[in-house]
Amino acid sequence: MISKLLFLAKRRLLWNRIAWYFNPVFYWRLLRLLFRRNSGRRFLGIWHYGNSPWSIGDPLTFIATISALAVENGCKEIDIAVIYDKKNPIGKRTTYHGDPIDSTNCKDYIFDHLSLFSTSPFPGTVYQFSTDEEFRYFLKKNLHRYDLYPGLGAYLCGQYDYHDFAACDIRILESHYRKHGNIPELSIGDREINWAYWFYRQYCPGKIPIALTLRNIPGDTIRNADYSVWLPFLDECYRKYPEIIFSFVGVREEAIPEFYQLPNMMNLIVTKDYGTTLREDMALIRTSLFHMGTMSGINAISIFSEHPYLLFQMPNFDRYGHKPGENWAFANYYQKTFTTEQEMSPLFLLHQFEEMYAKLDVRVWQLRTRTHAMPKSGIPTVDMIRENEK
């Protein structure tokens, strides 16, 4: 009873519109402002879209890297500065024939991409700046508080640009693994994870989902899927393993028309047909039994985690200090990467699939799904699910 009265008194005080000089809340908060303790140095990751790619995998690799560096520096939270120039958003990556991202549409893309930075396992504050001037003003005022990655010199010179295909970041992650025996795992919140389990129960009842990412975009075609190999493999899986369903995750344009003409369409679901977001796609990958596909940006959500995967067509693995047949130092027993030197065939894919499928305990996945599956409400202050059940 007393606690309820205290709660009601506090609530009334906070909602009271009396003049500030009579309000005790004002004086309490003023004292906290004047005598606040120094929170100590923090870690700031700087991602500049004028130097680095407007992609999916590269920002995820960056987040994994700054997370490892934060652990090394004893930081419990990471702030991230996301910068783009609204007048020239593509920056140094501009082309002679024009760019798909320009001053007219960059604002639309930036808000989609901000969700990538929510995967930080040590979430602090994400700042978004639309000009270098805004960010430099912020940095000048707060530089004394931060350890930076990339360093101040690399940022000012624009040298941190993934021109080496993230080899410098991979070296940091592998060094961290050799020292600590693990790397910080990219984070997907419980809200999205529970929803993803619910999605599979709702739309794939009685099936075991395998996340499928098949790159199919113009440029850098060495990583694109060869459908003369993958389509026969999908047919054979349907024949031998009718309990399996492939959950195709990717951008809408990557879902080829042939998917909808397959005799095994009951064993393949295109998640974009259900209007999934980028965060939801990442959760659907993480909650599948395992992940399979050609090398693509979104695969980073599995690579920097403990989630099982089979990933193919990794080009130029030697740039990371690895030979064909090797893997990332931080990869576990259930994670395999194959380079472009590996000849692809339906039989090879099937062999790798069967080998992975035999390693994993389907009953554990089914129990986890039953335990955690839950739809989500799109309005945080209203439990729409409960209201709909009344």
Residue 275 has pLDDT above 90, yes or no: yes
**What pLDDT is attached to residue 244?**
95
Distance CA 8, CA 134 (A): 43
C-alpha distances (whole Å) from 3 to each of 12, 14, 25, 268 are 14, 17, 19, 55
DSSP character at residue 338: E
Residue 260 has pLDDT above 60, yes or no: yes
The secondary structure of the chain in percent helix, strand, coil, rounded to multiples of 5, reads 50, 15, 35
* 26 pLDDT tier (thresholds 50, 70, 90): confident
DSSP character at residue 76: S
The residue among 286, 298, 287, 204 whose CA lies nearest residue 251 is 298
Q: Are 233 and 351 within 8 A, CB to CB?
A: no
* Average pLDDT for the chain: 90
Neighbours of 4 (CB within 10 A): 8
Q: Is the model more confident about 96 or about 188?
A: 188
Q: Is the model more confident about 95 or about 59?
A: 59
Return phi, psi of residue 385, to 5°.
-65, -50
**What pLDDT is attached to residue 119?**
97
* 345 pLDDT tier (thresholds 50, 70, 90): very high
* 69 pLDDT tier (thresholds 50, 70, 90): very high
Distance CA 176, CA 43 (A): 17
Residue 272 has pLDDT above 50, yes or no: yes
- Tens-place pLDDT, residues 98-112: 788 988 999 889 988
Averaged over 177-203, what is the pLDDT? 96
**What per-residue string of b and e applies to 357-370 under the rule 16 or more CB within 10 Å gives b?**
beeeeeeebeeebe
**What pLDDT is attached to residue 18?**
75
Task: Specify the DSSP element, H or E, that contains 211.
Answer: strand 208-213
The residue among 209, 192, 385 whose CA lies nearest residue 276 is 192
Give the rounded distance of the alpha carbon of 293 from its chain centre.
Answer: 16
Tokens 């080829």: give the residue: 256
3 state DSSP class of 322: coil
Averaged over 190-200, what is the pLDDT? 97
Any bridge partners for residue 246, and if so which? 210, 268
Distance CA 316, CA 124 (A): 35
Q: Is the model more confident about 301 or about 26?
A: 301
* 194 pLDDT tier (thresholds 50, 70, 90): very high
**What pLDDT is attached to residue 385?**
59
The pTM is what? Answer: 0.91
Distance CA 374, CA 198 (A): 5
Neighbours of 88 (CB within 10 A): 15
**What pLDDT is attached to residue 263?**
66
Averaged over 243-268, what is the pLDDT? 83
- Tens-place pLDDT, residues 294-333: 999 999 999 999 999 999 999 988 889 888 788 999 999 9
Residue 390 has pLDDT above 70, yes or no: no
- Tens-place pLDDT, residues 113-167: 999 999 999 999 999 999 999 999 999 999 988 999 999 999 999 999 998 889 9
Q: Which tokens in the block code for residue 201?
A: 């129960």
Question: In the chain, what percentage of residues exceed pLDDT 90?
Answer: 69
**What pLDDT is attached to residue 95?**
80
Averaged over 65-94, what is the pLDDT? 93
The residue among 216, 296, 295, 297 whose CA lies nearest residue 258 is 216
> DSSP string of 238-300?
HHH-TTEEEEE-S-GGGS-GGGGG-TTGGGEEEGGGGT--HHHHHHHHHTSSEEEEE--GGGH
